[in-house]
Structure 1
Amino acid sequence: MTAHLPTRSTGRPLLPAEFDAELLARLAALDRASDSHAQEQRPDNTTRAYAGDWKTWTLFCEQFQIPTTAATRGTLRAFVDYLWNREKRAYATIDRKLAGVTVTLRTQYSVVVDPNATKAARELLKDYRKKSEEDEEPARGRGKAPAMRLADLQHIVSLCGDDVFGLRDRAMLLLGFSIAARRAELAGLRLRNIRDDEKGLLVDVRVSKTDPRTVPVPYGEHVLTCPVRAWKAWQEAAGITDPDRHAFRRLHHTGSVQPQGLTPQRAGDIITAAGLRAGYEELFTGHSVRSGMATEARRKGKDRKAIAAITGHKDGSKVLDGYMRIVDQWDETDNALIGIGL
């Protein structure tokens, strides 16, 4: 049976101002259901970040004695000023907090912030960053994670032990590198997301900041750095058989495998610790295997579309362009100084 949309006697669709109470109630119920569904699909780390953003906003509002629902052009600009000049927060952090506040207001309080208000706040933020650069102030934040190059990866995994701890860490490093994983993507993998194939593995990356992607991971050329063999060794040692359980688990200090999966923070800490054990002074992070894979693939001449298929970057991504420049700056075609007779 086909439902008929409400219309006036004139035949034209109803305008929002003409909706009756029954229709408004149904639309509100639909909004609540869609918000609940969107919340369930949002990665845990994003949810935690938004909660932190809202806490910061609440403290700001308390100090300035304004309601938390008063997200106007003036209050959002004041929020940016507060975070930049008083809290000394990084540019990316402030930009993210603006997003977290507007999303929380919309989903939890049904307050839709005027896009022009957020645009004005972000323009002020850009002005602050530009002035900071002109004044040659030190960059804020942690900066970009160092890329874990192939030689680094080989050295680090060679020092992972053959006990259950070493098997887990080696599998996380090699599989994380192979699928260009963010730490949340690595922590979010379930057994059902890793499927056997005669040529290797098919890894479904479901928990992602971008669109889900499936990465075909082939057997490696070398046993030591083969992600497929490393995964199978860990899976067998850990006895992972439940498709709905996490692929990478917590380990008790005695070596017993726990049913709980890793948090994104813990996944990143494991990668950092592996680098420190191998003697590296620079701190590799969860993002290091991701940037390392993109850098090494480009160095071997892989097409950017093939790289983007693994990383999940969109066509024309500025982040992916950054990985490309690391390699292309020394390419004869892209460096105008090479071969001109200097």
Structure 2
Amino acid sequence: MGVPGRQLAVAVADEVVDAELVDEGPGGADVAVHTDRDRHLSPETVAAIEASAAASTRRAYGADRDAFAAWCAEEGRVPVPASGETMAEWVRHLTVTPRPRTNRPAGPSTIERAMSAVTTWHEEQGRPKPNMRGARAVLNAYKDRLAEEKAEAARARQATAALPPQIRAMLAGTDRTTLAGRRNAALVLVGFATAARVSELVALDLAAAVETEHGYDVTLYRKKVRKHTTNALLYGTDPATCPVRALRAYLAALAAAGRTEGPLFVRVDRWDRIAPPLTRRGRPIGDPAGRMTAEAAAEVVERLAVAAGLSGDWSGHSLRRGFATAARAAGHDPLEIARAGGWVDGSRVLARYMDDVDRVKNSPLVGIGL
């Protein structure tokens, strides 16, 4: 039975279905009118909404929005709500204006992020998104020009995949008799085996790693998909790259240093001790329990790769990409890889990692007799 005075109106376009309840006519219910109070968000709610995004994303979006607002002020334009013309002019400005740090205009991926920062800014303020058709056309023309010029910025930067051979090289020079060396080995191998983002890795507590018959179960919170995954850490065939042995050795070193609870990956000072709480002008900063930051964990990966003489673009994400690439090369199902690594369904990033392997393994040139 339908609701008196209301009917369901459905519009179909491009295989997307939108539906809403609309009034049939004079007999329908009165249309509610929102007041300023209905549109109001408290500072606490605004902070809660902002906290839903990763800290790095918040920082980048904040910088992008500040830059957009400053440009609008110089140009005499309104930043929110922005017109489609303003967005198109701003994107063209980004494609031709050198940035102080690089002395080159922003790359396409950076401009894409800036555009997203501004459109989501509108949403957060209850405003409709600006028309982006002109801005997109400007960006597409910029991408074409960069490709024709063979510019490095034409290709999206990707972290180099840390595969098992590279990980062996990275850990070959690590002194595993020290607390720092054991921590670094465990960080690399647990990060790889769980396909963890560095932010997820440093968020782990000691209680998240539970010893089992097969090795360890490690439970991570995957913020992108808003759920926990429990990853089985299994024994490796090579003791040098076995995540179970590396984690067990590191946990023993932590226990010997008096740590049996709190963060799993901690700062270690130059004297190989768990670093004391940091202070600035007498005020505590950072995690008082000594938890590593995501930036510090990424530095460990980069430093080990450089020390091993490995070429490429190394970052904390190299471990996550390496897991996906190695697992696919070993024949594992993409769905299982996605579940293990906490990728969202239909992740374009994961699909790109799969393509890196499948473009050779499944190439139409295979087996045609050339």
Alignment length, in residue pairs? 321
SS of residue in 2 equivalent to 1:261: coil
Structure 2 residue aligned with 1:5: none
Q: CA deviation at 1:111?
A: 5.0
> 2:224 is matched with which residue?
209
The alpha-carbon distance between structure 1 residues 12 and 206, as it changes in their structure 2 partners (threshold 3 A), is: farther
Kindly report which structure 2 residues correspond to 1:291-306, keeping only aligned pairs within 5 A, or say none: 291-306=321-336
Q: Residues 229-268 of structure 1 correspond to what in structure 2 (within 5 A)?
A: 229-239=245-255, 240-242=259-261, 245-258=262-275, 259-268=289-298
Are 1:81 and 2:92 an aligned pair?
Answer: yes
Farther off after superposition, 44-53 or 309-318: 309-318
Kindly provide the amino acid, as one letter, of the partner of residue 112 in structure 2.
D
Calculate the aligned-residue CA RMSD, in Å.
2.7
Decide whether aligned partners of structure 1 residues 42 and 314 sit closer, same or farther in structure 2, where only a CA change above 3 A counts: closer
Work out whether 1:99 is the aligned partner of 2:113: no
Amino acid across the alignment from 1:235? L
> Aligned letter for 2:170?
I
More strand by share: 2
1:28 and 2:40 correspond:
yes
Question: What is the CA-CA distance between 1:92 and the residue it aligns to?
Answer: 1.2
| Matched residue type, 1:146 | T
1:196 and 2:211 correspond: yes
Aligned residues of 1:184 and 1:208 also touching (Cα < 8 A)? no
Question: Is the partner of 2:267 in helix, strand or coil?
Answer: strand
Q: CA deviation at 1:166?
A: 0.8
User: SS at the partner of 1:139?
Assistant: helix
Q: Structure 1 residue 275 and structure 2 residue 315: aligned? A: no
Change (3 A) 1:260 1:140: farther
1:155 matched to 2:155? The reply is no
**Structure 2: which 5+ runs fail to align?**
1-25, 99-104, 276-288
Q: TM-score by structure 2 length?
A: 0.77
Distance in 2 between the 1:100 and 1:204 partners? Answer: 31
Q: SS at the partner of 1:201?
A: strand
Unaligned runs of 5+ in 1: 1-9
Q: Secondary structure at the match of 1:45?
A: helix
Give the SS at the match of 2:323.
helix
Matching of residue 223 in structure 1 with residue 234 in structure 2: no
Question: Is the helix fraction higher in 1 or 2?
Answer: 1
Q: What amino acid maps onto 1:131 in structure 2?
A: R
1:54 to 46, 65, 74: 65
Of 142, 150, 153, which residue of structure 2 is paired with 1:136? 150
* Cα offsets for 1:140-166 (capped at 9, x unmatched): 577111111111112212321121111
Q: What is the aligned-residue identity percentage?
A: 27
Matched, 1:340 2:362: no
| TM-aligned CA distance change 1:323 to 1:80, over 3 Å | same
* Equivalence for 1:3: none
Structure 1 residues 46-68: Cα deviation after superposition (integer angstroms, max 9, x where no partner): 22222222232233234324344
Contact 1:271–1:284 under 8 Å retained in 2: yes
Q: Distance in 1 between matches of 2:180 and 2:352?
A: 34
CA distance in 1, matches of 2:241, 2:115: 42
Alpha-carbon contact 2:325-2:353 (below 8 Å) kept: yes
Identify the range of structure 1 (203-212 vs 86-95) with the bigger mean alpha-carbon deviation: 203-212
* Alpha carbons of structure 1 residues 194 and 49: separation in structure 2 relative to 1, 3 Å: farther
Q: 3-state SS of the aligned residue for 1:206?
A: strand
Q: Cα 1:194–1:14, aligned 2, differ >3 Å: closer, same or farther?
A: farther
The TM-score, its normalising length taken from structure 1, stands at 0.82
Matched residue type, 1:96? R
